[in-house]
Structure 1
């Protein structure tokens, strides 16, 4: 009996510290985390090791020399103001806190998931507080965990929801955003501004730190759900949520469809799916022609977060 008690006491000494450490990563408390702790992992850099931009500088799109016609940008239009955010810069910073059309927004990009998303910086239901976001250095299912500097809560980018900290359960409202080639965006919005490489940080924005990653099928971090192999793990898909129901439009299926736009009914509503083959971009509009919030990202990432997704077949 004594030996059993001794072993039990020894196990507490050996294993309790690891449990305590597991609930704190990069200085963030995970005590009330709503996601499995084993899926929250360090991506390598410490908190703010990937520096978010909080005072971004822009230049006229017509005069910009740092962005090339074939470069991929994330584009926002709010209240008539257009802005573009090149992935060549977002690869190094991942988050831009900005004001577009008089509205405070956070533009986010996760290179590991290929997911570009924009949100209102004020959580839904919070009538006053606007948050400023940084890069925590942590990942959940390979996706960047943002954090707000006001409460140090951790936010899942793809879910747009706080998963740990004082804001846990709060949600951010996603804003419609375009991912396209710079030449196409500039043609559509000739008065656009584009994020400047004058960020205040010394980075080689001509070098892609993730070169080759999108072509390789391997995923390097634990996932909540493993995507079926019917598509390349990093095939781009258009992900759409309607009242909590998910559907994925793989780019290969949109290419098979062979149409620039087509009608699609989902969850008792009608939508128009737009496909730009030349610029490898897709988006969704409703019956009134309004662009809806959707997400372009890798197949594995969409499935990891929405395993019950329907999948469009062309």
Structure 2
């Protein structure tokens, strides 16, 4: 079995039995119980274990779940090769990318690649960044890799909390970090906030039009993957979630795309439905701060045009945003 087919098989095994999975796959589903996961996870690497030390976890340990692939089974990328837009012949106009600008330089990171790697440790000029994407939550966030513990390189732990990827930092004392929560949840980094950087989740054509000199992640990653197809296509078409999440709120469809915006005191969800299907810009307030957001009806994308200092944002599904920030306000039509 090749690497590509192996990952696809692992992802298929994650689908709950309420979804039509062939019986031949169902009978091989073998997830650890919560108690087993706790025991496995508190083992320290120095004691011969392969898990993480969760004794000081800031999230309920019993709600941390195995995602299927083991630690680094989904390999993050570090110091990737970037190419010019003209060389990126593997991309189509409508392919989604995470776009980042810093110091006059712009880069695009296609979800077609992030589907299989989830974290890209990169550097723009002197700025070390982690471009992160969790396909289960459709959550895109870019972090500054300079943490209170020093600069870190991140990998994929193989664990989930609220159906969202738990990253880990490659250090002598590994910490787990929640992507949507944006902070450490175990180890020395527990409770420490990551700095979120401006970015947009958009299409390759739209990003190129606004950033004609952009570079883009090369598909030559050193891994054998089919970057022309996504193993999550079926999941995106269904309303069901793969893993338990709480709290659940049905004010919006669970998988409606939202732009989540927050500061130290407030949280706001701007769903696609708030734009009434029309390409337009709207101005919103969050406490005393303001931001302008643009919606493209053709691409079905939301992006921040301008924002006051102190505001941070990410793109994600509604269920994930609410699970981590249940106090959020919702912008309606």
TM category, shorter: 0.7 to 0.9
Structure 2: runs of 5 or more not aligned: 1-33, 44-48
Report deviation, 1:286.
4.8
Q: When the two structures are aligned, how many residues end up with a matched partner?
A: 294
SS at match of 2:233: coil
- Tell me whether 1:204 sits opposite 2:248 in the alignment: no
Q: Distance in 2 between matches of 1:238 and 1:63?
A: 31
Of 320, 323, 326, the match for 1:301 = 320
CA pair 188-34 structure 1, distance change in 2 beyond 3 A: same
- Tell me whether 1:267 sits opposite 2:305 in the alignment: no
Q: Distance in 2 between matches of 1:41 and 1:211?
A: 22
Q: Distance in 1 between matches of 2:264 and 2:305?
A: 16
Contact 1:283/1:294, CA 8 A, preserved across alignment:
no
Contact 2:99/2:108, CA 8 A, preserved across alignment:
yes
Misfit runs of 4+, over 6 Å: 15-18
- RMSD of equivalent CA atoms: 2.2
Who wins on radius of gyration, i.e. which is larger? 1
CA pair 214-161 structure 1, distance change in 2 beyond 3 A: same
Report deviation, 1:171.
1.4
Of 286, 291, 301, the match for 1:281 = 301
After superposition, what is the alpha-carbon deviation per residue over 1:61-87, rounded to whole angstroms, capped at 9, x for unaligned? Answer: 123101111100000000011110110
- Tell me whether 1:94 sits opposite 2:118 in the alignment: yes
Report deviation, 1:259.
5.4
SS at match of 2:77: coil
Report deviation, 1:224.
2.7
Structure 1: runs of 5 or more not aligned: 1-14
TM-score (norm 1): 0.88
Contact 2:38/2:62, CA 8 A, preserved across alignment:
no
SS at match of 1:263: strand
Q: Distance in 1 between matches of 2:289 and 2:139?
A: 25
Contact 1:52/1:94, CA 8 A, preserved across alignment:
yes
Report deviation, 1:263.
2.1
Q: Distance in 1 between matches of 2:303 and 2:218?
A: 26
Contact 1:283/1:291, CA 8 A, preserved across alignment:
no
Of 97, 115, 134, the match for 2:155 = 134
SS at match of 1:186: helix
Q: Distance in 1 between matches of 2:286 and 2:59?
A: 29
Report deviation, 1:232.
1.8
Of 180, 194, 197, the match for 1:158 = 180
After superposition, what is the alpha-carbon deviation per residue over 1:82-137, rounded to whole angstroms, capped at 9, x for unaligned? Answer: 110110100000000001132110110000000011010011x45xx210000000
Q: Distance in 2 between matches of 1:91 and 1:271?
A: 29
SS at match of 2:201: strand
